[in-house]
C-alpha cells in the first residue's frame, strides 16, 4: 500500500520526467544536463524529491535574499492574489506606487539631499519596473541614450548584465561570445579594478584603483567623450569574481562622467537589497549614480521583478516627451506586494545590520582562517553575505586552479570540489576557479558555520587537485 507521501512523491517524479522531456533549459546543451528536482524549501534550506537537504549557499541565483517560503512574503503574495492578482501598467496601482515610494526613499543619496514634496515624500528618484535584471539594464541604457542623445555605452570586462541584446553586449564575460551574431553595435569595454590579478601592474588595492581609473579616462578619451551616453558597471562585480572597487574608484568614475556629461549607471541587480548590508552597494562609497538597475533581492524572486531607479533630472526628460519603453507586466501587483513586504521585513528584522555584522564578524574571519590552512586558496574577498574564494594551483604564481572559461576535463578539478561540498549537504555557487559564498540573508549563525565547515572540508579536495595538476 502506498502512503499519501509516497503518492505525492510519485506524482512529483512524473513531473520531473516531464521537465526532462519538455523543458528547454537556460545556458545548457539540452542533452548534457541533469537538473536536481527540487521538492521544497524553507529559509536557507531546500530539499530534493528524495529528501536530500541542502543549505543554499548560492541563494538560488543570488536572488533569494529572505530565503525560501518566508511566511511574511508568502502571506503578502496570497493576500494580493485575493485582492487584485493583476492589472495593466497603464493603470495606477496602490502596491506598485508604494513599492516605488519605498525604493525611492532608500535610493542612493535620497536621505542625504533629496527634495521632499508637500507630503514630505521623496521626489529625487522615480522607478520604472521591469520583469527582471536584463530588461532593467536594457531600459537604463534606453533612458541614457535618449536623455543624452548619444549612442555609445562603456561597460567592464569581467561583468554580467543579462541576456537580452544590449545587456549581453554589455556583458564582459564569455557568455557574450556566442551571442555576438547580433550585438548592440555601440558598446565598448574597459578593464575595471581587480587587484589580485592586476592588468595594470599594481601592487595593492589603492594603486589598482588609481590605475584602473586612469585607464578608463584614456578609453573615454579615445572613444570620444561626446559620443558616450553612459558608463555602466556592476557596483561590486558579482558572478565574475566579487570584485570590490577600491575606495576612490567609483568616486573617480562619477567625476569623470560629470566632466563629460556622461551618465553613470550602476547595476545593482545582484548586490542591491542587502547582499552587502546596504540597500544599494554604492552607498558604501557615498556615490550617487544617475540610474540604478535592480532585480533579484528586491522581492527575493518570489515573482519576477526588476527595475530602474531613475534620477529626477533624467526622468524629467520624459515629462513632455514620450518614453518609448514598456512591458505588459511592468510593476505587476503580485511582484510589488512581495517587494513592499520584503522591505518592511528587512526593517523589522534589521536585516542590513545583521548582514554587516555577521559578514564582518563571522563569514569573513572564518573564511580567512580556513584559507590559511589550504594552500589552494589564493585570495578570499567579500563583504556582508557576498564572498569569493579564489582557488589557485600555486599561491606564488597565482595560476588559477582551472583555466579561464574551462569546460569538460579542464574544469574537472573544480567539479571535484563542488561534489565534495554537495556531499556535505551544501549547495555552492561556482564560477571558473572560484567558490562564492552568497547565502540567504536570514541564514542562522549555526547554519553559516555548517556551510563554512563544509567548504573547509571540501578545500582538502582543492588542495589535492592543485597538487595533482602541479605534479
The grid cell for 85 is 492578482
Give the whole-angstrom CA distance, residue 27 versus residue 29: 7
Give the whole-angstrom CA distance, residue 263 versus residue 290: 6
**Residue 391: C-alpha distances to residues 6, 195, 457, 458 (Å):** 42, 16, 14, 12
Instruction: List phi, psi (to 5°) of 407.
Output: -140, 170
**Minimal distance in Å, beta carbon 271 to ligand PLP?**
7
Which H or E element spans position 453? helix 445-470
Q: Is 376 helix (H, G, I), strand (E, B) or coil?
A: coil
Of 169 and 376, which has the nearer Cβ to ligand PLP? 169
**Minimal distance in Å, beta carbon 88 to ligand PLP?**
22
Residue nearest to ligand PLP (CB): 133
CB proximity list for 207: less than 8 A, separation 6 or greater: 195, 200
**Residue 316: C-alpha distances to residues 124, 143, 147, 252, 400 (Å):** 11, 11, 9, 26, 48
Of 133 and 172, which has the nearer Cβ to ligand PLP? 133
Instruction: List phi, psi (to 5°) of 466.
Output: -65, -45
**Minimal distance in Å, beta carbon 328 to ligand PLP?**
16
Residues 281, 236 contacting (CB under 8 angstroms): yes
Of 305 and 370, which has the nearer Cβ to ligand PLP? 305
**Minimal distance in Å, beta carbon 416 to ligand PLP?**
25
Instruction: List phi, psi (to 5°) of 121.
Output: -80, 150
Of 132 and 331, which has the nearer Cβ to ligand PLP? 132
Give the whole-angstrom CA distance, residue 392 versus residue 353: 33
Of 269 and 380, which has the nearer Cβ to ligand PLP? 269
Give the whole-angstrom CA distance, residue 158 versus residue 172: 5
**Minimal distance in Å, beta carbon 306 to ligand PLP?**
6
Of 80 and 235, which has the nearer Cβ to ligand PLP? 235
Residues 420, 453 contacting (CB under 8 angstroms): no
Give the whole-angstrom CA distance, residue 391 versus residue 140: 35
Of 413 and 428, which has the nearer Cβ to ligand PLP? 428
Of 300 and 465, which has the nearer Cβ to ligand PLP? 300
**Minimal distance in Å, beta carbon 270 to ligand PLP?**
4
**Minimal distance in Å, beta carbon 162 to ligand PLP?**
3
Of 159 and 376, which has the nearer Cβ to ligand PLP? 159
Residues 284, 276 contacting (CB under 8 angstroms): yes
**Minimal distance in Å, beta carbon 219 to ligand PLP?**
21
Which H or E element spans position 173? none
**Minimal distance in Å, beta carbon 154 to ligand PLP?**
16
**Minimal distance in Å, beta carbon 351 to ligand PLP?**
20
Of 250 and 371, which has the nearer Cβ to ligand PLP? 250
Cα four-point dihedral sign 456, 460, 465, 471: positive
Give the whole-angstrom CA distance, residue 85 versus residue 289: 34
Which residues here bind ligand PLP, judged by CB under 6 A?
61, 132-134, 137, 160-162, 234, 238-239, 267, 269-270, 295, 306
Amino acid at each position: 500500500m502506498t502512503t499519501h507521501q509516497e503518492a505525492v512523491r510519485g506524482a512529483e517524479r512524473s513531473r520531473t520526467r516531464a521537465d526532462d522531456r519538455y523543458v528547454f533549459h537556460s545556458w545548457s546543451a539540452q542533452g548534457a544536463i541533469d537538473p536536481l528536482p527540487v521538492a521544497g524549501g524553507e529559509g536557507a534550506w531546500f530539499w530534493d524529491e528524495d529528501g536530500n537537504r541542502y543549505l543554499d549557499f548560492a541563494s538560488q541565483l543570488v536572488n533569494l535574499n529572505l530565503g525560501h517560503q518566508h511566511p511574511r512574503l508568502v502571506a503578502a503574495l496570497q493576500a494580493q492574489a485575493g485582492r487584485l492578482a493583476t492589472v495593466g501598467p497603464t493603470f495606477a496601482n496602490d502596491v506598485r506606487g508604494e513599492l516605488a515610494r519605498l525604493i525611492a526613499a532608500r535610493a542612493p543619496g535620497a536621505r542625504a539631499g533629496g527634495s521632499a514634496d508637500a507630503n514630505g515624500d521623496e521626489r529625487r528618484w522615480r522607478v520604472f519596473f521591469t520583469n527582471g535584471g536584463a530588461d532593467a539594464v536594457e531600459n537604463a541604457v534606453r533612458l541614457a541614450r535618449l536623455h543624452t542623445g548619444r549612442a555609445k555605452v562603456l561597460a567592464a570586462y569581467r561583468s554580467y548584465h543579462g541576456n537580452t541584446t544590449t545587456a549581453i553586449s554589455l556583458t564582459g564575460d564569455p557568455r557574450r561570445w556566442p551571442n555576438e551574431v547580433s550585438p548592440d553595435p555601440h558598446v565598448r569595454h574597459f578593464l575595471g579594478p581587480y587587484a589580485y590579478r592586476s592588468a595594470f601592474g599594481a601592487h595593492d588595492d589603492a594603486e589598482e584603483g588609481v590605475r584602473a581609473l586612469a585607464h578608463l579616462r584614456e578609453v573615454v578619451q579615445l572613444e570620444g567623450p561626446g559620443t558616450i551616453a553612459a558608463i555602466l558597471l556592476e557596483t561590486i562585480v558579482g558572478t565574475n569574481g566579487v570584485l570590490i572597487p577600491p575606495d576612490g574608484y567609483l568616486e573617480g568614475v562619477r567625476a569623470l562622467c560629470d566632466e563629460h556629461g556622461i551618465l553613470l549607471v550602476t547595476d545593482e541587480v545582484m548586490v542591491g537589497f542587502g547582499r552587502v548590508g546596504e540597500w544599494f552597494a554604492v552607498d558604501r562609497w557615498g556615490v550617487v549614480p544617475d540610474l540604478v538597475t535592480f532585480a533579484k533581492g528586491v522581492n527575493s524572486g518570489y515573482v519576477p521583478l526588476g527595475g530602474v531607479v531613475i534620477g529626477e533630472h533624467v526622468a524629467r526628460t520624459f515629462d513632455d516627451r514620450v518614453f518609448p519603453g514598456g512591458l505588459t507586466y511592468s510593476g505587476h501587483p503580485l511582484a510589488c506586494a512581495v517587494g513592499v513586504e520584503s522591505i518592511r521585513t528587512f526593517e523589522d528584522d534589521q536585516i542590513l545590520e545583521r548582514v554587516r555584522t555577521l559578514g564582518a564578524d563571522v563569514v569573513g574571519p572564518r573564511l580567512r582562517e580556513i584559507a590559511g590552512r589550504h594552500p589552494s586558496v589564493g585570495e578570499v574577498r567579500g563583504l556582508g553575505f557576498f564572498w569569493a574564494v579564489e582557488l589557485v594551483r600555486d599561491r606564488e604564481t597565482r595560476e588559477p586552479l582551472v583555466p579561464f572559461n574551462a569546460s569538460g576535463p579542464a574544469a574537472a578539478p573544480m567539479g571535484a570540489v563542488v561534489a565534495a561540498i554537495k556531499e556535505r549537504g551544501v549547495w555552492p555557487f561556482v564560477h571558473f576557479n572560484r567558490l562564492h559564498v552568497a547565502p540567504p540573508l536570514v541564514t542562522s549563525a549555526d547554519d553559516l558555520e555548517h556551510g563554512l565547515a563544509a567548504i573547509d572540508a571540501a578545500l582538502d579536495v582543492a588542495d589535492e587537485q592543485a597538487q595533482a595538476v602541479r605534479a
